[in-house]
Homo-oligomer: A and B are copies of this chain.
Amino acid sequence: MAYKTKQREIMMEYLKGMPGRHVTAGDVTEHLRSKGQTIGQATVYRQLEKLVDEGIVGKYMIDGVTPACFEYMGENAHKGETCFHCKCEKCGKLIHLHCEELEGIGEHLYKDHGFVLNPLRTVFYGVCEECAAAM
């Protein structure tokens, strides 16, 4: 299956080092370059795609402008721990939420509306605390 290349290992190490945090393809490249590693943007995308297919990392699409976000899932992938995202329409900040109460939404949608929620793609739009205070 997947080859154990040096680039892949470094990427894994980096992603594993920040669980529960969002990383873009650009972040990966930049980080590896700062470590003195030469890596092509194409390799990052291709390797990330593989990792997503293997279920090791999650991929979040916010919109067509913001780069896609990746996150290490690893062992947590089996715990059913979902995470939701809030996107501020003012400053563009992305808020990352692990909240039990929100996790109940999926269950409610399924039981009462027969809808199987996909938290990976679902984004709450609104205004964040700072921007709301500044209005």
Residues of A within 8 A of B (CB): 61-64, 67-68, 86, 89, 95, 97, 99, 101-102, 105, 108-109, 112-118, 121-129, 132
Q: Closest CB-CB distance, A117 to chain B, in whole Å?
A: 4
Q: Which residue of B lies closest to A67 (CB)?
A: B64
Decide yes or no: A126 and B132 within 8 Å by CB, A101-B108, A102-B105, A108-B101 being known contacts: no
The residues of B that contact A132 with a CB separation of less than 8 Å are 114, 116
The residues of B that contact A125 with a CB separation of less than 8 Å are 117-118, 121-122
Classify the secondary structure of A's interface with B: mixed
Q: Closest CB-CB distance, A83 to chain B, in whole Å?
A: 13
CA distance A108 to B102 in the complex (A): 9
The residues of B that contact A115 with a CB separation of less than 8 Å are 86, 95, 124, 126-129
The residues of B that contact A102 with a CB separation of less than 8 Å are 105, 108
B113 with A86: CB separation less than 8 A? yes
A109 with B122: CB separation less than 8 A? no
CA distance A133 to B125 in the complex (A): 29
Q: Which residue of B lies closest to A105 (CB)?
A: B105
The residues of B that contact A109 with a CB separation of less than 8 Å are 86, 124, 126
Q: Which residue of B lies closest to A135 (CB)?
A: B116
